[in-house]
Amino acid sequence: MASLQDQFLKAGLISQKKVNQAKQDQNKQKKEERRTGVKVVDDVRQAAAEAQRKQAERARELNAQRVAANREKEVAAQIAQMVQQSRQSKGNGDIAYNFTYENKVKRIYVSAPVQAHLTAGRLVIICQGEVFELVPKIVADKIAERNPAIVVRVSKSSAETLPAEDDPYADYKIPDDFTW
């Protein structure tokens, strides 16, 4: 079997002059390597290897972004499924329940039993876009593990939960639905 150079020469793709020039270049490179002890690297090969390394790094970055986007979609689908399965009715109430979401006061209308569950902490408000849904606290905790930004926490202040010992009005409870 003939070498690749011989095959190209027989096919007429290269001339004998080019074959001799290639052999001379190879001999010069080998002689230079023996003399200096350093292997001479072709600039084209080095540039190609660098370009291939950069392309592989870019492909890894794009893949990581794609995986992150898929993970976000998966989490959003899980949250939507949990809310859909455990959504509680707001009741046909006319009681306005105010809460803060993203530094804005929002309002939903609920019935009296639902308001009692909200203030007791058994129900939690979940925001999906512009829609507010009510879910049990257990489900809200699972949703908060995945995305805490959509869970509206109705936090009671520590002063409400623990009255001071010397408070003269400790016996008088202020109702949650007090309006001015």
Q: Please calculate the CA angle 137-140-146 and round it to the nearest 5 degrees.
A: 155
Q: What would the pLDDT profile of 114-172 be if each residue is shown by its tens digit?
A: 888 988 889 999 998 888 899 999 999 999 999 888 888 765 544 455 656 777 877 77
Residues 6+ apart with CB under 8 A from 144: 151
CA distances from 123 to 91, 126, 135, 153 (A): 13, 10, 6, 10
Q: What would the pLDDT profile of 14-30 be if each residue is shown by its tens digit?
A: 889 988 998 999 898 88
Question: Residues 21, 27, 31, 34: is their CA dihedral positive or negative?
Answer: positive
Provide the token pair at 97: 């329940």
State whether residue 79 is helix, strand or coil: helix
Question: What pTM was computed for the model?
Answer: 0.55
CA distance 92 to 76: 29
93: buried, middle or exposed (CB in 10 Å: 19+, 13-18, 0-12)?
Answer: middle
The pLDDT assigned to 8 comes to: 85
Task: Answer whether residue 39 shows pLDDT above 80.
Answer: no
State whether residue 14 is helix, strand or coil: coil
